Amino acid sequence: MLKTLTIATILAVSAFSAGVLGPAHAATSRSQVCPIVGGVDPDFVTFEGPATIPGDGANHLVTLFASEEESARNLVTLTAVATGRKKGKVAATEPIIASANGLHDATIQLSLTGTPGRNYVIDWVAAFDFGPHICAWATPGHHAFDVTVGP
């Protein structure tokens, strides 16, 4: 039930973003696969939201979603840190930190401010299978999610 509600919410936000913001700011889904050694148990971390948000000073929600591929109910923990950066400065804002956990999946929403000239880097760490299966933006083959602020 919770997974169905979460997926429905993500789809509704995506549809709303695409309709209100138009194609330049349409919501996109970017997923990264997190298998353990040998390619088995391919769990996922997905970013839902636009790659560019308008520089309108408003807050814009983006979503990170970690999901366990196995049908068994395993604990999933997801932590994300969004750092706003402005031309040459490492931290233009205080970092936005969020964490969530759940059985089979975990969802985080981050509110990013559309300040012109700012970009966000979203680092993330997910732990699957009650903790021993770790996947992070810094592990080989993975990356942080970037959101730029447009005019």
**Would you state the structure tokens that stand for residue 30, as one six-digit string?**
């970017």
Name the amino acid, one letter, at 17. S
The pLDDT value recorded for residue 66 is 92
Could you report the per-residue pLDDT of 59-80, keeping only the tens digit for each? 999 999 999 877 666 788 899 9
| Residue 95 exposure: Cα atoms within 13 Å on the Cβ side | 12
Could you report the per-residue pLDDT of 4-48, keeping only the tens digit for each? 322 222 223 233 333 333 334 445 678 888 887 777 778 889 999
pTM value is 0.73
Strands 96-103 and 52-53: unpaired
d(C-alpha 54, C-alpha 115), whole Å: 8
Could you report the per-residue pLDDT of 84-134, keeping only the tens digit for each? 877 555 555 678 999 999 988 899 999 999 988 888 999 999 998 888 888
The CATH architecture assigned to 2-149 reads Sandwich (2.60)
d(C-alpha 100, C-alpha 34), whole Å: 18
